[in-house]
Amino acid sequence: MNGSTPNIVESSKLLVAILVPLFGSLAVMLTGKKRPNLRESCSVTAAVLMFAIIASMVPDILAGRTLHYGIFKILPGITVTLRADAFSMIFALAASFLWILAAFYSMGYMRGLNEHAQTRFNACFALSLFGAMGVAFSDNLFTLYLFYEIVSICTYPLVAHHQDQEGYDGARKYIVYLTSTAKAFLLPAMALIYVLTGTLDFATNISTGIFPPGVNATIVTILYIFCILGFAKNGVMPFHHWLPGAMVAPTPVSALLHAVAVVKVGVFSTTRVMLYVFGVNLMHSLNLGIPTAYFVSFTILMASIIALSKTNLKARLAYSTVSQLSYIILGVAMLTPSSIDGGLIHIANHAFAKITLFFCAGAIYVATHKKDISEMSGLGRTMPFTFAAFAIASLSMIGAPPVAGFVTKWYLLVGAMQAHQIGLLLVLLASTLLNVGYFVPVTYSAFFGKRPEGERYEGIKEAPLSMVIPIMIAATISVVIGIYPNFMMQFVKAVTG
């Protein structure tokens, strides 16, 4: 040490953070179905432990340091290396905290419905988090790809959980879309980037990227398109079909994986590559940003329109997810500091709101076995807590103050104005109206609608406490980070400088 504070710190904490869910999964497998309480406590312990380790990195990151840990060296310029910077913390903090809530919630859900194969379910759940944390802490494209693929494989058993024809069909669609886009686009992109630059390491800031000056513009543009399409977990049309298909999974899976872990792995990877492989400067000079923004605008509007037409609650939420994920990419693609802020903060904001919505859908299903929105008319008076949480989370999706989604929308609108893109501004406004269109009627009819003919909701009460409490916590956090956005914003600000 020569007195100056080193910016990069070697820290084995990173390794421990991703090993905890891996060992948690092994512990779940070993305890097995004979000891369900012990098994579930393994899940919960792993979740709490992982969050604690990640939270303990916060002071270092806020002090401007980057944590770093090399594990394997594959080829010159290709390693398995972990890195925690402000960008990774946005995703890692949100996902690891929500795992705790989801672990409690799924205990209530799976036991409430007396689901089969709960050991496999819990083990795969933890393995998926292992993959998701690996993605969050990737230091290079290879590590990212490795964990991205681990997430694909480990979530397959979760999607196919019911093992009926519908489950198999949904799971097949899921795996076909995710692995074939990764192989078709990411693999060649990675090989070509390696040929052009001799490395796959991410840059340390969002401006420079890793391409040497004077590199062939056509090839870089093709690589960029491949990277956007290759991470199909980001739900950008036309490769979004896997997401509604995956809704056959049990609701905790839809909640954590398809509102938080899996889809956020997709957008996180996409934006990580946009900012840290290509970089803002190169995207500006090749004019890649605004076309991308218009490209994902189509997804934002189209998915919302489809969501309007869905009467199955989970299907509507699924299309809402498709639409909202593209907000994140839209924000980054506009390439102004405010829009990037808005995009990145939405990783966390959307996570908390969407998991609440899915949790509510699951709680309604456990309590009433109802899936269709039309059957839920008047149910709000029977299940007030659940529907209150639903209402709060809907407001966040719409982007109304004081809930977190408003922060996103504010920054995105400012960003669109700074970028002088009236078209994108209109997209954001239209999307907001569409969100109102498909979220408000659900809450309205639940609280103020007439009960369906002959339906008295007798014997129906709120779902078990282990489900309602996580719902309330998640909804509360949406409000808290809406009123007090600074905690998450300081990571975002550290990214954009």
Partner 1 sequence: MDFLVMHQGLPLLSALIFLPLAGAVIGMFLPSESSARVWALLVTIANALLSIPLYTGFDLSTAKFQFGEHHPWIPIWHINYTLGVDGISLLLILLTTLIMPFCVLASWRYIARRVKAFMVCLLVMECAMIGVFAALDFVLFYVLWEAMLIPMYLIIGIWGGPRKVYASIKFFIYTLAGSVMLLVSIIALYLNSAPHTFSIPALMGGNYSTTFQILVFLAFFLAFAIKVPMFPFHTWLPAAHVEAPTAGSVILASILLKMGTYGFLRFCLPITPVATLTLMPYVLWLSVAAILYGGFTALAQKDMKKLIAYSSVGHMGFVTLGIFVLNSRGVEGAILQMINHGVTTGALFLCVGMIYERTHSRELATATGIGKQMPIFVTFLAFFSLSSLAFPGTNSFVGEFLVLAGSFSRNLLITACAIPGAILAAAYMLRMLQKVIWGGVDNPKQSLIDLNGREIVTLAPFLLFVFWIGLGPTPFLAVMHASVNHLLSQVSLAAHSTAIGMLP
Quick check: 7 binds partner 1 (CB under 8 A)?
Answer: no
The values of phi and psi at residue 80, to 5°, are -100, 105
Quick check: 164 binds partner 1 (CB under 8 A)?
Answer: yes
Q: Which is nearer to partner 1, 78 or 404 (CB)?
A: 78
CA distances 473 to 341, 352, 356, 465, Å, are 25, 10, 9, 12
Binder to partner 1 among 26, 58, 113, 146 (CB under 8 A)?
146
Quick check: 168 binds partner 1 (CB under 8 A)?
Answer: yes
Q: Which is nearer to partner 1, 29 or 414 (CB)?
A: 29
**Minimum Å distance from CB 60 to partner 1?**
27
Quick check: 73 binds partner 1 (CB under 8 A)?
Answer: yes
Contact 466, 44 (CB under 8 A): no
Binder to partner 1 among 74, 422, 426, 465 (CB under 8 A)?
74
Contact 170, 159 (CB under 8 A): yes
Quick check: 160 binds partner 1 (CB under 8 A)?
Answer: yes
Contacting range for partner 1; rule: CB under 8 A; set: 7-15, 164-172, 384-392, 430-438: 164-172
Q: Which is nearer to partner 1, 191 or 483 (CB)?
A: 191
Q: Which of residues 391-410 bind partner 1 (CB under 8 A)?
A: none
Pattern 30-69, partner 1, x by CB under 8 A: ----------------------------------------
Could you give the CA distance from residue 38 to residue 156 in angstroms, rounded to a whole number? 25
Contact 345, 420 (CB under 8 A): no
Quick check: 149 binds partner 1 (CB under 8 A)?
Answer: yes
**Minimum Å distance from CB 201 to partner 1?**
16
Quick check: 75 binds partner 1 (CB under 8 A)?
Answer: yes
Pattern 171-200, partner 1, x by CB under 8 A: -x--xx--xx--xx--xx-xxx-xx-----
Residue 330's CB: how many other CB atoms inside 10 A? 28
Q: Which is nearer to partner 1, 71 or 433 (CB)?
A: 71
Contact 93, 352 (CB under 8 A): no
**Minimum Å distance from CB 455 to partner 1?**
32
Quick check: 1 binds partner 1 (CB under 8 A)?
Answer: no
Q: What is the DSSP string of 377-403?
A: TTGGGTSHHHHHHHHHHHHHHHT-TTS
Q: Which is nearer to partner 1, 194 or 385 (CB)?
A: 194
Quick check: 142 binds partner 1 (CB under 8 A)?
Answer: yes
Give the residue carrying structure tokens 């840059």: 203
Which amino acid does the sequence have at 364?
I
- Three-state SS for 202? coil
Could you give the CA distance from residue 239 to residue 445 in angstroms, rounded to a whole number? 33
Q: Which is nearer to partner 1, 180 or 311 (CB)?
A: 180
Contact 418, 486 (CB under 8 A): no
Q: Which is nearer to partner 1, 172 or 493 (CB)?
A: 172
Contact 17, 24 (CB under 8 A): no
- Three-state SS for 5? coil
**Minimum Å distance from CB 187 to partner 1?**
6
**Minimum Å distance from CB 145 to partner 1?**
5
**Minimum Å distance from CB 295 to partner 1?**
22
Residue 191's CB: how many other CB atoms inside 10 A? 11
Could you give the CA distance from residue 362 to residue 367 in angstroms, rounded to a whole number? 9
Buried b (16+ CB within 10 A) or exposed e, 305-317: ebbeebeebbbbb
> Which DSSP category does 376 fall into?
G
**Minimum Å distance from CB 459 to partner 1?**
32
Binding residues for partner 1, rule CB under 8 A, total 30
Which helix or strand (DSSP H or E) is residue 66 part of? Answer: strand 66-75
Quick check: 220 binds partner 1 (CB under 8 A)?
Answer: no
Q: Which is nearer to partner 1, 148 or 278 (CB)?
A: 148
Q: Which is nearer to partner 1, 149 or 462 (CB)?
A: 149
Q: Which is nearer to partner 1, 184 or 436 (CB)?
A: 184
Q: Which is nearer to partner 1, 160 or 473 (CB)?
A: 160
The values of phi and psi at residue 448, to 5°, are -115, -5
Which amino acid does the sequence have at 34?
K
Which helix or strand (DSSP H or E) is residue 73 part of? Answer: strand 66-75
Residue 497's CB: how many other CB atoms inside 10 A? 9
Catalog residues that contact partner 1 under the rule CB under 8 A: 72-75, 78, 80, 142, 145-146, 149, 153, 160, 163-165, 168, 172, 175-176, 179-180, 183-184, 187-188, 190-192, 194-195
